Each structure stands twice: as structure tokens, then as C-alpha cells.
Amino acid sequence: MSLDKDVNINKKEETAAEETAVVFPYSVAVRFRDAAKPYSFGCYDDTIKKGNWVVVETQQGLEMGMAEADSMNVEKYGLRMPTRPVVRIATMADRRSYEENVHYEQDAYNICAEEIELLGLDMNLLNAQYTLDRSKILFIYLADQRVDFRELLKHLGARLHCRIELRQIGERDKAKMVGGIGLCGMECCCRRFKNHFDIISINMAKNQMLALNTEKLSGMCGKLMCCLKYEDDDYKALTEGLPKMGSQVEYEGGIYRITAMNVMSDEAKLENHQQVIFLSLADLREKAIPRKGVVMQKRNDGEKKEVIHRSGRQPEPASKAAHVSMELPSLAEKKERTPKQNQRSSSRNETKKEPRRTFGPGANNQNKDKEANNNRRNNDSRKRDNASRSKETAKSETKNVTVRTFGRKKTQEENK
């Protein structure tokens, strides 16, 4: 019985809370200055029309905004009523103070920027906002870490003489507040219609088979773009049951590697050393068998790959790329080396060989003698090679040189 009473009491409290929440018979959508979306407020007045300026009560205090639509009946449209009310339709005095606040906000912004520079705080001031009656001011700033602004509050309170609130935001909130044009050519989604930020990970780009280039995948805020979230569920559903990229599969008795996959065109590319096959994703999902630990055979240089299209699409024309081949010396050419070249190679190999070392009493002296003998032999072989090279170069120079003599005119006439 006690449990039933507790349940009934909780239900009564919930219904009472709902009844107290639903107080206003009409609802109005109000947009504030530099706001990305309108907010709904409750009122008792059904004469509020679209374009009227109204004074509303918010968490910050009294603020003024413009009605985005006519006041609507809650019971007729089944709207969920908010708790914040519309105080009144804006008067001329409200409009005048609203315009004056723009100049006061700029002065307060300059004062706060000066104090930040004097105190040497690591914070980037973005905006300053007064309430309608100028009883409170809100400073919005950007910072990488937490900032100790207690001294800053003392200086600002002495100069502004009102309540002061400092609010720290992140890079994505800054992009939402400032706005900008994205890579698609449209205004940023966070500025246009997004109410809250989703968690974006690099796995979403991998699911969509995009190039993992952070510059192309980043938005105005420097973080991963929010639009990666939009198509992530669709790509997961389309690629469900498919083998991974780069894996090996068995198809019609042959072993292939998946080198490309396009979900939008419903096509996959399988390739081995003999041929290339283009399949539809349905055939790849049903007929291909994944394999692990399979070693593919090597392809001969003279063989060419055969391209087979089984996805229903026409093959693309092959690109006329220049084929570059590197010719290596054959075994017969290696055997036809001159004896001098063989001697040089043998002498080089001898220098690379390390002398054998012995261990025991007197081993150090024996090792030193062997190393000295090896060094002498290597020096003698190098001297012989250098001498033979110098003789060959001298002979070649004497063959190619032609000697000419030029005499003076007087000596030529005397000889005649």
C-alpha cells in the first residue's frame, strides 16, 4: 500500500508541475540580435504580429527581440509551452535604449580588452552584450585553458559599475557565433540550423572511404566537419556484410585483392596478377569468399592483365602511358669481364674480409701481426691498381692528342 501511495503522490506532483508549466495560452517565436535560431516565449496577448519588437524575460535578464511569427494558440496547435514570458510589446523608450546599448557595448568591449592586455591574460575577447536595462553585461571570450580572471573582475567592476559575467567558449561555439561559408558554398550548418554539436570521429571518414586528409575534412572551426555525421548511417548500411578494403577474397576459383570500392556507383574492383574484374556489391557480398593468409603468385613480365567488367558498366578507355623498362646485364655479359676487372673485384672483396682472431695466451700479438700483414697486402694491391690505371690513362691521352706547331712570320719567310 505504501508503494501505491508513493506512486500516486509522484504522479500528482508531475501533473501539478505540468499544470504550472502550461500557464500561457499563446506562444510567440522571438529572434534576438545575432542569433542563429528563434526561441519561443509564452504570452497572454494574441495581438502580437510578425515583425513586432517585444521585451522578454531570459536567464540573463530583460532583452528585446523581434517576433518571427504571429502569436499562436497552444490548444489549437498542440504546442509545448515554455516557462519564460513575454513582458510587453516594446515601446519607443525600449527601442531607444536598445539602440544606445550598441554604443555602450563597444565601449565596454574596448575597456575589457585594455584590462586584459594590462594584466597579460591569455584570452581572446570576442563579444560584449548588455541587457536591456544595462544592469548586467556578458563578456564572451575564447581560451585554450582556464583563466584566472579574479583580478580582471575587480578592475571591470570599478569602471563599469554593473554585474559582470565572463563566459568561455570553444572553437566550434566561436564558429557558430561568427558564422562563415563552408566548402559546399553554403553558410555553416551550426550557424544556420544546428542546435547542438554531435560527436565527430575519424571513423566516419573511413566508413565513407574518404582520403584521410585533415585539411580537407576540417571545417571553419578547425575540427572535423559536422556533415560527416549526416551520411554515416547510410554508408554503414550499404557496406554491411562486405569484406574490407585491401583484403583477399576467392571468386570463381581465383584469388583476388579488393583494390577499390565505390558505394555510390555500386561497383567493386578485384585484381590479381593476371586479370582485373569489376563486380557489383551484391555479387561481392554473395559470391566472394574472404581468405586469410593466402600468398598470391608472382606475375611474369611478358604477361598482361585481362580486364573483365561484370558490373554492367562500360569499361573506361585505357590511358596511353609510356612504359619504361630497365634492362639488367645478363649472365653472359657478367662472364665476359676482363681479368683486370676480376682482379679489382677480388682485391675489394679481400679488403672486406675480416681477419680471424685467436684467443688464449699470446693471442694479442698473433692477431696484431696478422692485421699488419693484411694491411701491407691491401696497400700493395692498391698501389698496383693505381699504377695500371695511370698507365692506361696516359696511353689514351697520347692517342687522342694531336700536336701542331705555329711559327712566326719572320721565321717562315727565312725558311722559304
The residue segments making up the domain with residue 126 are 97-169
Task: Determine, yes or no, domain membership for 263.
Answer: yes
> CA 160 from chain center: how many Å?
43
DSSP string, 92-123: HHHHHHHHHHHHHHHHHHHHHHHHHHHHT---
Whether residue 349 has pLDDT greater than 60: no
Same domain, 163 and 101: yes
- Among 291, 309, 327, the domain boundary falls at 309
Q: Which residue has the higher pLDDT, 63 or 315?
A: 63
Mean pLDDT of 360-368: 57
CATH of the domain at 145: 3.30.300
pLDDT of amino acid 26: 87
Model confidence band, residue 43 (pLDDT cutoffs 50, 70, 90): confident
Whether residue 295 has pLDDT greater than 70: no
Task: Determine, yes or no, domain membership for 400.
Answer: no
Same domain, 27 and 84: yes
Task: Determine, yes or no, domain membership for 113.
Answer: yes
- Rounded to whole angstroms, the Cα distance separating 160 from 256 reads 74
Same domain, 83 and 141: no
190 neighbors 197 (Cβ within 8 angstroms): yes
Same domain, 126 and 113: yes
Q: Which residue has the higher pLDDT, 112 or 328?
A: 112
- Rounded to whole angstroms, the Cα distance separating 294 from 257 reads 10
Q: Could you give the residue ranges of the DSSP H alpha helices within 292-362?
A: 331-335, 339-352
Mean pLDDT of 23-46: 84
pLDDT of amino acid 20: 46
Whether residue 376 has pLDDT greater than 60: yes
- The string of pLDDT tens digits covering residues 81-96 is 667 889 999 999 999 9
How many domains is the chain built from?
A: 4
pLDDT of amino acid 137: 93
pLDDT of amino acid 6: 43
pLDDT of amino acid 395: 55
Task: Determine, yes or no, domain membership for 154.
Answer: yes
Q: Is the pTM of this model over 0.85?
A: no
Same domain, 233 and 246: no
pLDDT of amino acid 194: 83
Same domain, 74 and 106: no
Same domain, 65 and 119: no
Task: Output the average pLDDT for the chain.
Answer: 76
Output the CA torsion 147→151→155→157 (10° steps): 80
Whether residue 323 has pLDDT greater than 60: no
Whether residue 406 has pLDDT greater than 80: no
Mean pLDDT of 344-363: 50
- Among 309, 324, 359, the domain boundary falls at 309
Same domain, 161 and 210: no
pLDDT of amino acid 344: 54
pLDDT of amino acid 381: 77
pLDDT of amino acid 108: 94
Whether residue 358 has pLDDT greater than 60: no
- The string of pLDDT tens digits covering residues 125-141 is 999 999 998 999 999 99
Same domain, 299 and 245: yes
Same domain, 229 and 256: no
Identify the sign of the CA torsion 63, 65, 71, 72. Answer: negative
Same domain, 222 and 250: no
CA distances from 372 to 247, 334, 361, 377 (A): 59, 34, 19, 9
Q: Give the H/E segment covering residue 385.
A: helix 363-400
- The string of pLDDT tens digits covering residues 166-209 is 999 888 888 888 888 888 888 888 888 887 888 898 989 888 88
> CA 83 from chain center: how many Å?
42
Task: Determine, yes or no, domain membership for 178.
Answer: no
Same domain, 82 and 123: no
- Among 251, 278, 309, the domain boundary falls at 309
Whether residue 219 has pLDDT greater than 60: yes
Q: Which residue has the higher pLDDT, 96 or 390?
A: 96
Model confidence band, residue 265 (pLDDT cutoffs 50, 70, 90): confident
Task: Determine, yes or no, domain membership for 265.
Answer: yes
Whether residue 389 has pLDDT greater than 80: no
pLDDT of amino acid 39: 85
Mean pLDDT of 239-252: 85
Model confidence band, residue 324 (pLDDT cutoffs 50, 70, 90): very low
pLDDT of amino acid 19: 43
